[in-house]
Structure 1
């Protein structure tokens, strides 16, 4: 069993453990809200060292607040109880504490995710990140049915002009947001990376290494999928987006490799998957151990060369699938 296959198996078992211990939280959320995982759990490639990144997303309650957006069906007290259950179960199972002392364990309504689209408020309230990660690397933890319903609503918001362009629809709105997310990841890395002392520099290199593998794959596997669909049928329908969301980033690459019409890209896609598997092998350790490896100049150089290779392969696949494709032009200019 390879590293990727092993990670998928581990993630499935750990999510089952979580669900088994979260029955009370499931009942509180029933028909009102879902909880979805992002990060390595959302990508179904968690290791024993992975933490758990979660969002709570509630169905609209039909009542607009002062901000003009509908609130969530999930009541405030039930939200507090669910968060308490989530904190408790991660401690019982030995999963790392929620990052930022729980500040990112946030509850939104669907309206809060969709009505902020394209507005300055989107960045300030973090709805941008919550929405994009829902579409690009999420996995439901509680209330699968609600997860499906709210995801469909978010897709509809991005496909708002679809009815007038069914035969040649390019998902420009979503594409631009995905590209913006990738650029945001890159800018955040530059802004938050300490250059001294040596250990902090090594931590920065590790963040860069992860950025150029998992973050890059999250964004560009989705773009590759949408680009391939447009190449095949000259349009991208809402159902195509939902199918893409239902696949993890690595599964999207595997899907590309299964398409006969994309035979010219199959070899490079396979190399991309192999390179990503090596990344997973490298990062399957405590952060402190990996940081110490990055403090060795030769090892650090080897890892960062691999990161650049991964980026080059991603570009090659993108260019191969995008040739003579109007959608590809949209990605570039």
Structure 2
């Protein structure tokens, strides 16, 4: 049914197929790469970003990090494996990842560290980012069973035994909100003090980052009336779906679902057009008013926000707790 629905949105469909094809290549390559490693059963490789959302293209990089289930430092134990993993990934996705240190084939983490200090003073932007993206848009590149188990373990940190049944999961929702607000403030820091490019980053914030946040909100809304066991049973299936497919799956009867896809189709057309993408890459805060392209995108992004809000109101009646919880 989703495949048939996507016939109306050729760019969304093309990106989805491109992502699926490349993920298959990457997964096969990593199985071969790690086949002879004595540590292969302790390695899980996670992708987020456009590959996690199912919207990658030839211009996409690969946001990835490695979970290593060992008390020994990965840098000492996996020196050879890390180099081979990097080579395998670059053969399929040659575009370099960002330089923030949050992602990359040399970023290794112990999963049990991701379960500690949620919301505490040691909960850095990097740890919040990896945790939220593993939940909201993550997919496995290697170690599918471990990835699924890790995500369930992380969800149990948010939805605990003994929590009140049939109430909205505020801890999870609040962390999703916190992450989205962190993205927006981090954007300001990166472009103002970090001197990062402004234009394309701003456009992504208006569409793909906003969609990521919305995908988390609707998951929390969807499980609100279930008991603790029901929440944990349904969440993995919802989170396994890339965000757009998740919206379609939940909102097949929602009259605003097609509006969301139309807006996102237009966004993908812009960011994959070589000339338009280059124009946005060189756009600055100072000269944005001179760009007719950016002016059009800004108008469309405001309409996109209104469409997402309308979808939520249409999907969940006025008494649904998600509306109050997003405010208070």
- What TM-score comes out, normalization by structure 1 length? 0.83
Which residues of 2 match residues 225-264 of structure 1 at below 5 A?
A: 225-230=219-224, 233=226, 237-258=231-252, 263=253
Is 1:42–2:20 an aligned residue pair?
no
Q: Which structure 2 residues correspond to residues 53-64 of structure 1 after superposition, within 5 A?
A: 53-59=63-69, 61=70
Alpha-carbon distance, 1:94 to partner:
5.2
- Which stretch of structure 1 is more off in the superposition, 295-304 or 96-105? 96-105
Residues 219-249 of structure 1: CA deviation (Å, up to 9, x unaligned): 1112113213326x57761122212211111
Summarize the alignment of residues 203-218 of structure 1 with structure 2, pairs less than 5 Å apart: 203-218=197-212
- Which residue matches 1:120? 121
1:298 maps to what in 2?
A: 292
Q: Does 1:187 align with 2:188?
A: no
Partner of 2:78: 79
Q: Which one of the candidate residues 34, 56, 80 is aligned to 1:25?
A: 34
Deviation at 1:41, TM superposition (A): 0.6
Aligned residue in 1 for 2:4: none
How far apart, CA to CA, are the structure 2 residues paired with 1:26 and 1:127? Answer: 30
Q: Which runs of 5+ in 2 are unaligned?
A: 1-6
Q: Deviations over 1:2-46 (max 9, x none)?
A: 111111111111112222322223654532131010000111110
The one of 22, 25, 42 aligned to 1:14: 22
Match of 2:322 among 322, 327, 330: 327
> 1:277-313 deviations in whole A, cap 9, x for unaligned?
1111111145425436886522210011111111111
Structure 2 equivalent of residue 219 of structure 1: 213
What is the total number of aligned residue pairs between the two structures? 307
Structure 1, unaligned runs of 5 or more: 62-70
Does the CA contact (< 8 Å) of 1:43 and 1:249 recur in 2? yes
